Amino acid sequence: MAFRVLSASAFAIAIFVGVAIAAVVDKGPPYTSDQFMEISYERVPEQFKANLPKWWAKAPKYLKDRILNSPSEMWWAIILCNYQGFRPESHGQDSADKCEKEWYAASQRGKAQWSPDGHYIEPSEACLKRNKRTQWGELVCD
């Protein structure tokens, strides 16, 4: 009986240690390429994960530097805006900063429309009356 108790507690410790090791630690920028690869699997969409190593190997230096020096929650916005042709050196309509900030804000608004148990949250009456919208017509309630 003592063997079973020891085995069960050893098993519980092994599971706890395994979970602790599996968790990705994100200490913030600047990151290394290895940290990017490890953390990005939690930050990019499922469809992009298979191509991530090949994409990262071919990414231009300016893009890698921009990603590695940005908070990890912004990585996907940076990747998308770069793909769409927005560049960091621009300050006009094709500004990467503007694109990334707008995309990130829109993604956060989208998350706020869902409850933790997966139900859609309707906009409040005050938000509907205010009728504030993005340039694409999306209702902004923040």
Q: Would you list the domain boundaries of the chain?
A: 13-130
Give pLDDT, residue 23: 57
Cα torsion for 33, 64, 75, 140, to the nearest 10°? 170
**Do 78 and 48 form a contact (C-beta atoms < 8 A)?**
no
**Do 129 and 111 form a contact (C-beta atoms < 8 A)?**
no
Give pLDDT, residue 35: 92
Q: Which of the residues in the chain have pLDDT under 70?
A: 1-24
Give pLDDT, residue 15: 40
Give pLDDT, residue 68: 94
Give pLDDT, residue 18: 40
| pTM over the 0.85 mark | no
